[in-house]
Amino acid sequence: MHVVLIIKKVHRRKFITDSCFACTAMAGGGMLLTLLESCNGLPRISASKTKSDFSFPLSAFADKQMLIIQRNDTEFDALVIKKADNTFITLELKCSHQDQPLTATAGGLHCTSHGSKFSLEGEVLNAPATEPLRIFPTECINNNVIVKFGAK
Amino acid sequence: MLISYASFSQIITREDSLNAGLVASNSRSVISGYGEALVSYDLRSKTGVADLRRNVLFFGHKFDDKVSFFSEMEIEHAVVEEGGHGELAMEQLFLKFNLNKKNYLAAGLIIPRIGIVNENHLPTTYNGNDRPFVERFIIPSTWRELGVSLYGTSNRVAGLNYSCGIMNGLNSADFASGAGIRGGRGEGSKASATNIAAIGALLYYTGNWRLQTSAYFGGSAGLPNAEADTLGLQNGTFGTPVQMFELNVQRLSNIYTFKALGAFINIPDAAKINAAYGNGIAQSVLGGYVEFAYNLMHLVKRQDQKQVLVFARYEWLDLDYKTPTGVIRDNTLNRQYIVTGLTYQPTRGVTVKADYVHRITGKPAVTEVDTPATVFYSQNGIVNIGVGYSF
Contact partners, residue B62, CB within 8 Å, separation at least 6: A99, B22, B25, B27, B28, B29, B30, B68, B69
Question: What per-residue confidence (pLDDT) applies to A111?
Answer: 92
Question: What per-residue confidence (pLDDT) applies to B108?
Answer: 98
**A72-76, B24-28, B267-271, B359-363: least confident range:** B24-28
CA dihedral sign, ordered B294, B297, B300, B303: negative
What is the mean pLDDT of the segment spanning B174-190? Answer: 94
Q: Which residue of chain B is at minimal alpha-carbon distance from A96?
A: B18
Contact B158 A134 (CB under 8 A): no
Q: Which residue of chain B is at minimal alpha-carbon distance from A125?
A: B254
Ranked by mean pLDDT, the top range of B27-36, B41-50, B149-158 is B41-50
Tell me the C-alpha distance between A85 and B156, whole Å: 28
Helix, strand, or coil here: B226?
Answer: helix
Contact A127 B17 (CB under 8 A): no
Q: Tell me: pLDDT of B257 over 60.
A: yes
Nearest residue, CB atoms, B236 vs list A10, A106, A134:
A10
* Chain A closest-CA separation from residue B298 CA (Å): 13
Percentage helix, strand, coil for chain A under 3-state DSSP, each rounded to 5: 20, 35, 45
Question: What per-residue confidence (pLDDT) applies to A128?
Answer: 87
Question: What per-residue confidence (pLDDT) applies to B254?
Answer: 80
Nearest residue, CB atoms, B193 vs list A6, A33, A125:
A6
Tell me the C-alpha distance between A68 and B2, whole Å: 34
Closest among A74, A82, A67 to A52, alpha carbons compared:
A74
Q: Is the peptide bond before A128 cis (omega within 30 degrees of 0)?
A: yes
Pairing of strands B67-76, B47-62: antiparallel
Which strand ranges, in their side-by-side order, compose the sheet holding A44-47?
A44-47, A66-71, A78-82, A88-92, A135-136
Contacts of B153 in chain A (CB under 8 A): 101, 103, 112
What is the mean pLDDT of the segment spanning B55-62? Answer: 95
Q: Tell me: pLDDT of B16 over 60.
A: no
Contacts of B254 in chain A (CB under 8 A): 125-126
Closest among B143, B160, B153, B253 to B199, alpha carbons compared:
B143
Tell me the C-alpha distance between B143 and B153, whole Å: 23
Angle at B189 between CA B183 and CA B191, to 5 degrees: 75
Q: Are B198 and A22 in contact (CB under 8 A)?
A: yes
* Chain A closest-CA separation from residue B199 CA (Å): 9
Helix (H) or strand (E) holding A74: none
Contacts of A30 in chain B (CB under 8 A): 150, 152, 162, 164
Split at pLDDT 50, 70, 90, the class of B25 is very low
Nearest residue, CB atoms, B200 vs list A11, A29, A134:
A29
Q: Are A66 and A42 in contact (CB under 8 A)?
A: yes
Higher pLDDT, B252 or B25: B252
CA dihedral sign, ordered B110, A132, A83, A57: negative
Q: Amino acid identity of B36?
A: E
What is the mean pLDDT of the segment spanning B300-312? Answer: 83
Helix, strand, or coil here: B232?
Answer: coil
Closest among B380, B383, B366, B285 to B336, alpha carbons compared:
B380
Tell me the C-alpha distance between B175 and A37, whole Å: 40
Contacts of A98 in chain B (CB under 8 A): 30, 32, 58, 60, 70
**ipTM of this predicted structure:** 0.74
Q: Tell me phi and psi for residue A84, to 5 degrees.
A: -60, -30
Residue B176, CB half-sphere, CA atoms under 13 Å: how many? 9
Question: What per-residue confidence (pLDDT) applies to A135?
Answer: 95
CA dihedral sign, ordered A58, A63, A66, A72: negative
Nearest residue, CB atoms, B207 vs list A1, A105, A127:
A105
Nearest residue, CB atoms, B198 vs list A6, A15, A22:
A22
| Residues of chain A scoring pLDDT < 50 | 1-10, 34-40
* Chain B closest-CA separation from residue A125 CA (Å): 6
Tell me the C-alpha distance between B199 and B114, whole Å: 9
Tell me the C-alpha distance between B385 and B344, whole Å: 11
B102: phi > 0 → left, psi -120 to 50 → alpha, else beta; which?
Answer: alpha
* Chain B closest-CA separation from residue A22 CA (Å): 7
